[in-house]
A and B are shown apart, each in its own frame.
Chain A
Amino acid sequence: MSLNISVQASLGNFQLDANFAVPAKGVTAIFGPSGSGKTSLLRAIAGLIELDNAQIQLMGEVWHSNQICLPVHQRSVGFVFQQPSLFIHLNVRENLNYGFERRAAEDRQIGFDEVVALLDIDQLLERETHSLSGGEAQRVAIGRALLASPKLLLMDEPLASLDVQLKREILPYLDRLQRNLDIPVLYVSHSLEEVIRLADHLVLMEDGKVREQGPLMQVLDNNRLLNELADEPFALLEGRVSEACTAHHLTVVDASGLLISMPGMEVSADQAVRLRLYAKDISLSLGRPEGSSILNIFESVIADIEATDHPSQKLVSLKTGQASLAARVSSLSCDKLELKVGDSVFAQIKAASLIQ
């Protein structure tokens, strides 16, 4: 089951032309540079901007066309803005109830207490909005949107106004949301960190158009793309914890057959995790290194060798079992070792990190 979204609109000189399908569950990140039309896309879907010439369909239901324009309040979308934008004349409980009360009882998908528990805001209910911290206010704003029982939750950089500390405070709640609710989320972000942490699905926007879309791992399983998007290229792996804590205080993750050891983390066995392996932390060797202190050494095949933005460095794409990795090596080593596509090498992973 998926939601098909199609938005064609002219906004002044800017042309928005986005077609994509979103799974009816989970988080779809809309990612792209500023000015690529992410926020406009979200606002157009919600009906918050006037469109000259637009077609918007969601699940076969026409929300906007030349003939009709469904008003915002009939679209059943939840919208979480960059700023919490709580109603200052209402307290927390009244804010939460605003959308809840305006939804007919039979259309309510979620209970008040459920949302309060999910977002851990029961201590805040009788507080005035001005007494909340930025993180608390944003949690209330998310709860308020959920309580309106939206068919689609739109989040416009909900963490962008928060500092790093508060982001860490909110992220676990977003994880929880994703695990516990069936509401599909469109999550606009320009932070790759948030995207690889939260998203299941990725829509990459550029100049008002969708450049790439698909399951996150699939879209990012393309070194050229990651090389371009990230300041420091990395490979993203999905796996499960096979051993949470070994006798040597290590955590072992099974990422599509690769058993990767890393310093002990607070995880439980069999937990699904994502790993990030920076290309700069991977080195190559022609033979299996003997007597190396490095724990994670995997036989790999070179899939591609690309130039980087500095002539002294090359980015070598590797096929390691079923996983794709990338190593950043010096051009000198490339020449010395006579590396070429199809060669067998050993990848030595100096560091891997869990994304959390």
Chain B
Amino acid sequence: MHPDIAALWLSLKLAGVSTAILLLISTPLAWWLAHNKGRFKVVVEALVALPLVLPPTVLGFYLLISLGPQGAIGGAFEAMGLSALSFSFAGLVIGSVIYSLPFVVQPLHQAFVEIGDRPFEVARTLGSSGRDLFVSILLPLARRGYLTGAVLGFAHTLGEFGVVLMIGGNIPGKTQVLSIAIYDHVAALEYGQAHWLSAGLLILSFALLVFVYSINRRFDLVKV
């Protein structure tokens, strides 16, 4: 496979897997944030929003340390006979999930707050409970929040650079994603190829954002 194609494929795979994981963990997290008022909530909100303000290299640096063979997480993996997570696809996924978390949690949080408690109260008095509530009430009512979160999480993961470079390095075919491939082309003065990849990413990201804005005109995060 051409290394550029491999980088594109890896970027798409990384974004897809990360988005799926993000949706899974953001749902309970956003629900908790929407239904709690305690002091602890502020701390969790700040933690979730941290990747918005932190340089990706800081995040990547700490991830590299903890996921590497000497780190708490990577070390534990090695002790179990697995390989450490740094410089692997799994490591990239962990980094991406943390890095893109606010982009998925915040639209879901907003959607859950807007829905409020009432539809769930009504549904429960009408005989619904548990998973039925989730499928018949929460998912359809929070549909726009889910779409927004999924698209933003996906697009943001596609565009990440610093975190991936720090924890994944730049191993073609294994951890070299699109943004890093572009950087390599520019460093090697291969502007033609850099153009192709950059323009492709630009158009894709633009299209995704147009989609997000068309389904949801109010989205605080992107306005900032």
Contacts and interface: CB of A to CB of B under 8 A. Distances in A.
A217 to B, nearest CB: 31
A72 B118 contact: no
A79 B120 CA distance: 12
B119 interface: yes
A46 B141 CA distance: 24
Given A89-B140, A89-B141, A48 B121 contact: yes
Interface in A85-136: 85, 87-89, 98-99, 102-103
A83 interface: yes
B118 A99 contact: no
Nearest to B127: A102
B127 A85 contact: no
A71 B130 CA distance: 11
Interface of A: 46-48, 71-73, 75-79, 81, 83, 85, 87-89, 98-99, 102-103, 144-145, 148
Contacts of B118: 81, 83, 85
Contacts of A83: 118
Contact of A77 (B119, B125, B128, B140): B125
* Secondary structure dominating the interface of A: loop
Given A81-B121, A99-B125, 12 more contacts: A47-B124, A71-B129, A73-B129, A78-B125, A81-B122, A85-B118, A85-B122, A87-B141, A102-B127, A102-B128, A102-B132, A148-B125
A47 B141 CA distance: 23
Contact of B126 (A48, A81, A99): A99
B100 to A, nearest CB: 27
Nearest to A141: B122
A102 B126 contact: yes
B223 to A, nearest CB: 25
Nearest to A147: B126
B119 A85 contact: yes
Given A89-B140, A89-B141, A98 B123 contact: yes
Contacts of B126: 73, 98-99, 102, 144-145, 148
A71 B132 CA distance: 14
